[in-house]
Amino acid sequence: MTMTHRLTWADLPASVRARVATLLGEEVARTRSCRGGFSPSTAEVVTGQGGRSLFVKAVRERDNPGSVELNRREARVLARIPAAAPVPALVDEFEDGEWFVLVTEAAPGALPAEPWRRDQLAQVLVALDRLQATVTPCPVPGLPTVPEHLGPDMLGFERVAADVPAGLDPWLAAHLEALCAAGRRGIDALAGDTLCHSDLRSDNLVIDDSDDSDDSDGGAVRLVDWAHASVGSPVADALQLLSSVDDPSGALGVDAHVDAVLAAHDLPPTTGTDVLAGILGFFVDAARLPATLPGLREHREARRDGLLPLVRTRWERELTSGRRS
């Protein structure tokens, strides 16, 4: 994951730093900038002399107006998520002049390994089960549905079919009409009443691999960055996450994980393939567009190229077995 230039602790005015220190309850002893993501917002873990840590996300309109609105939206969601969910608790949100500042408890641990480890992927899937148990039905009112939130993106193959780019992968070109229909079915399959993260990938996860962490129930995992939260199917986050995991050799078992997630909710494998096809359509379409943030186009191209083999493998298997016409 390529990271944009982020603001840092040193960029914040003294008044913001002082308020964070008050929330911390002690002087700030050290700070650490987190990697990942595209927003210019700070992503700082601030640690006090006594060892307590907070996470600070701060940005101004002039840095990126969209980031300010996303951070406000995240604060509204965090305020309603139950404490039992694997999500760092909201500590405070405030404005200081130009700045909007969001402060949460710091999640112990680090981002998942790159490339993914099989055990960490399994940990995260267990944590998603734990999340569903605490946020179904959705405790946050007024959210968009997952089909409303992700649906326009998942119509990417329809935009590609209307303006076929030069050099389109031959398999995609041969299946464009069927992929358009699959994307629409995938959107419909994401409806439900579970609170969904809806932007789940490795840089929005923190895993505590320390000896004293309890990962038996997914407790070592925390889901962060809830700006895109929506309400939908209990499989939505797992499928979105699995779509982002490169598994060229099959060692991580991504294909099997997709089927297991679906089976746990009495859904057929074809439903997962339709959802993955819709997500692939977004990246095929978006990869040809100008990027609005540094590193974004490269990220989209990588996701397109990583997800295509999985969709193709599942699609052709379903054709062979008669589950897909």
Task: Decide if 127 is inside a domain.
Answer: yes
The pLDDT value given to residue 230: 98
CA distances from 61 to 19, 71, 92, 131, 290 (A): 20, 11, 19, 32, 22
**Residue 170 belongs to a domain:** yes
> Does 198 lie in the same domain as 89?
no
Question: Domain for residue 213, yes or no?
Answer: yes
Last residue of a domain, one of 81, 105, 129: 105
| Residues in a beta bridge with 53 | 47
Per-residue pLDDT at 297: 86
Q: What is the pLDDT of residue 192?
A: 98
- Condensed to tens digits (0 to 9), the pLDDT of residues 300-322 reads 999 999 999 999 999 999 999 99
Which pair of structure tokens corresponds to residue 90? 């909201």
CA 44 – CA 215 distance, rounded (Å) = 25
Tokens of 162: 């209307």
Within the chain, which residues score under 50 in pLDDT? Answer: 1-4
Closest CA to 180 of 199, 195, 160: 160
Kindly provide the residue ranges of all beta strands, DSSP E only, lying in the chain, ordered along the sequence: 28-33, 44-48, 53-60, 90-96, 99-105, 194-196, 205-207, 221-223, 230-232
Measured at the CA of 58, the angle between CA 57 and CA 63, to 5 degrees, comes to 130
The pLDDT assigned to 301 comes to 92
Report the distance separating Cα 33 and Cα 44, nearest Å. Answer: 5
C-alpha to C-alpha distance for 198 and 149, rounded to whole angstroms: 8
CATH number for position 154: 3.90.1200
Both 66 and 143 in a single domain? no
Give a yes or no: residue 112 inside a domain: no
Q: DSSP per residue over 214-230, as a string?
A: --TTSTTEEE---TT-E
**Looking at 84, 105, 126, which one is the last position of a domain?**
105
Length of the chain: 325
Closest alpha carbon to 59 in 123, 8, 109: 8
pLDDT, residue 69, reads 95
Task: Note the pLDDT of residue 269.
Answer: 97
| Token pair for 46 | 């601030």
pLDDT for the residue 4:
45
The pLDDT assigned to 296 comes to 82
- Domain shared by 206 and 180, yes or no: yes
- Show the domain range for 205: 118-321
pLDDT of amino acid 319:
95
* CATH number of domain containing 79: 3.30.200.20
At position 48, the amino acid (one-letter code) is G
In a shared domain, residues 218 and 183: yes
What does the alpha-carbon distance between residue 161 and residue 304 come to, in Å, rounded to a whole number?
A: 16
pLDDT tens-digit readout, 17-29: 999 999 999 999 9
The pTM score is: 0.91
Residues 245 and 315 in one domain: yes
